[in-house]
Amino acid sequence: MEGLLKHINTISPLSKISWKALKQILVDRNYPIGTHLSSLNETPTRVFFLKSGYARGYTLSRKGNQYNRVLYKPNEFMASLSALIQKSKTYLAIECLTDCQTSECNFNKFIELTDTFPDIDAFYQKILEENFVRFELRNIQLVTMTATERYVDLRKRIPKIDDIISQKHIASHIGVSPIQLSRIRRKLFS
């Protein structure tokens, strides 16, 4: 869990007392590839910190097609924040794309800590800000960048992604079919 503390402190430092309180509600877990940490139309209760592995947050279209909204890499927090905050069913499922190690906690217990520990509350505020910025930038990318530009940007964010997760998940994330991704790759690397 020291890796988690180090990461938290880069976002918003915690006192030893606050870390001790937070540590009491955290649980380390390992999940095999294909595990759903959060399923569609269920009310989520947990927040995850991805210690190792890769995961995706996806949704379904009305026709039942899956669309990756976010790809998670190590040292990122994973959750359907809107569903957690609103205590509602989620439209964002979280699935392990590789074997994953997480530190996780019950969201309501975490929120209780924000009422008691100002530095945990400040950390929560920073996480909310980071997520807002990430999703705003993602939405801007989807309407202003070409699929090739989105693919190049993804490869910068997650080097060697092509060796880590399947092409269908990469294609879904950048908003193209696997065949279109093959054409993009051929054009870039030939």
pLDDT at residue 61 in the model: 86
Q: What is the DSSP string of 13-54?
A: ---HHHHHHHHHH-EEEEE-TT-EEE-TTS---EEEEEEES-
User: What's the whole-number mean pLDDT along residues 152-169?
Assistant: 92
- Mean pLDDT calculated for residue range 106-117: 96
Mean per-residue pLDDT, 120-147: 91
Radius of gyration of the chain from Cα atoms?
A: 17
Query: Residue 25 and residue 39: Cα distance in Å, rounded?
Result: 22
Largest CA distance in the chain: 57
Phi, psi (degrees; rounded to nearest 5) at 74: -55, 150
pTM score, whole prediction: 0.88
Rounded distance between C-alpha atoms, residue 68 and residue 53, angstroms: 17
Look at residue 138 in the predicted model and tell me its pLDDT. 85
Closest by CA position to 146, among listed 118, 114, 183, 113: 183
Q: Is the pLDDT of residue 2 over 80?
A: no
Give the pLDDT band (50/70/90) at residue 33. Answer: very high
CA distance 115 to 57: 29
Report yes or no: 113 and 21 within 8 Å, Cβ to Cβ: yes
Q: Judge whether residue 1 has pLDDT over 90.
A: no
pLDDT at residue 95, as a whole number? 97
Q: How many CB atoms lie within 10 A of CB 107?
A: 20
pLDDT digits (tens, 9 = 90+) for 43-102: 999 999 999 999 999 998 888 888 898 999 999 999 998 999 999 999 999 999 999 999
In sequence order, what are the beta bridge partners of 50?
Answer: 76, 102
Highest mean pLDDT among 88-97, 128-137, 167-176: 88-97
133-147 b/e (C-beta count within 10 Å ≥ 16 → b): eeeeeeeebeeeeeb
Give how far the C-alpha of residue 172 lies from the chain's centroid of Cα atoms, to the nearest Å: 15
Mean pLDDT score of the chain: 93
